[in-house]
Amino acid sequence: MLRVILFQQWKGSRMLLFLAGLTAFAVPVVSASTYSWRAQSSWDPAGLLLFGYAVGFLYPAIAAATGLIVAVTAWGPDHRGGHVYALSLPLPRWRYAGLRFVAGVVLISAPVFMLAIGTGLVALTAPIPEGLTAYPVALTARFALAALVAYGMFFAVAAGTTRTAATILGVMAGLVALQVVLTAFGARVNILGGVTNALFNWPGPFDIFGGRWLLIDV
């Protein structure tokens, strides 16, 4: 059963997955060569770190995007059909959801793999200056974890009825709107900041997305 679910999810997401994988490969490689082009002969440690900070945000962004893509393509076709097909199959709903989840995890391994190749390539071929090391494995592992966390969250949202998913998105949009209104009235409340802080900084559940994402670090 997993095989056919995996096939169906892959068929529906292969284009986007390919793009995510390509991007995951490109970010370390292209950023390294961009820096190399800029720095000409030798790589200056301070400059390299600063450059790393500037482009580092791309990693968690792609991880989150991958998680989102896989979650949405996992449930999208079912939503569109009103879940009638899935509900008519002779297996419990939790088992079906489990199969979908596992299939998504398998699919996420593709962009993770591409990132491993990209970072590995840079780690092996780049002229890394004294005092700094490349951490391709750590970065890839962190990327994988972040993608899974994002996937888990989006999966849970998308797995609900279409109405639940819409409600959650509605609440998020509502918070944004509220913030805009309050700011317009001069209130010094930062709802989104507060929420983000609670979620993305330790000990928030999404703290993996925060902090520095560097391939080459001290």
Partner 1 sequence: MGNAIETDGLHYTLGRGFALEDVSLRVPVGSIYGFLGPNGAGKTTTIRLLMGFHRPTRGAIRILDRAIPRELPTVLSATGFVPERPHLYPTLTVAETVRHHSAFQPRWDREWAASLFRRFALAEDRRVSRLSKGEMGKLLLLLALGQRPDLLILDEPTEGLDPVVRRELMSVLMDYVADRTATVFISSHLVHELERFCDWVGIMDRGRLLTEMPMTQFKNSLKRLRLSTGVALPDAPFELLVRERAVATAGETWLVRGWESSMTAYIAERGAEVREVIDLDLEEGFVELLRSFRVAEQDASSKET
**Element spanning 216, H or E:** strand 216-217
Query: Could you give the CA distance from residue 22 to residue 17 in angstroms, rounded to a whole number?
Result: 8
Say which amino acid occupies 163: R
User: Closest CB to partner 1 among 86 and 145?
Assistant: 86
**Least distance CB 70 / partner 1 (angstroms):** 16
User: Closest CB to partner 1 among 76 and 204?
Assistant: 76
Q: Which of 1, 166, 173, 180 binds partner 1 (CB under 8 A)?
A: 1
User: Closest CB to partner 1 among 70 and 147?
Assistant: 70
Asked if 36 touches partner 1 (CB under 8 A), the answer is: no
| Cβ atoms of 32 and 126 closer than 8 Å | yes
Residue 47, classed as helix, strand or coil, is helix
Q: Which of 7, 18, 53, 57 binds partner 1 (CB under 8 A)?
A: 7
User: Closest CB to partner 1 among 77 and 129?
Assistant: 77
User: Closest CB to partner 1 among 8 and 36?
Assistant: 8
Asked if 196 touches partner 1 (CB under 8 A), the answer is: no
Asked if 42 touches partner 1 (CB under 8 A), the answer is: no
Q: Let me know the angle formed at the C-alpha of 140 by 138 and 143, rounded to the nearest 5 degrees.
A: 110
**Least distance CB 3 / partner 1 (angstroms):** 7
Asked if 163 touches partner 1 (CB under 8 A), the answer is: no
Asked if 18 touches partner 1 (CB under 8 A), the answer is: no
User: Closest CB to partner 1 among 7 and 18?
Assistant: 7
**Interacting positions 52-111 with partner 1 (CB under 8 A):** 77, 81-85, 87-92
| Cβ atoms of 73 and 16 closer than 8 Å | yes
> Alpha helices, DSSP H only, in the chain?
2-39, 45-56, 58-80, 84-87, 93-125, 136-159, 162-184, 191-200
Token readout for 106 is 């398998």
Indicate the angle between helix axes 136-159 and 162-184, nearest 10 degrees: 110
User: Closest CB to partner 1 among 89 and 187?
Assistant: 89
**Least distance CB 162 / partner 1 (angstroms):** 14
Cis peptide before 60 (omega within 30 of 0): no
DSSP bridge partners of 133: 217
Binding residues for partner 1, per CB under 8 A? 1, 3-4, 7-8, 11-12, 77, 81-85, 87-92
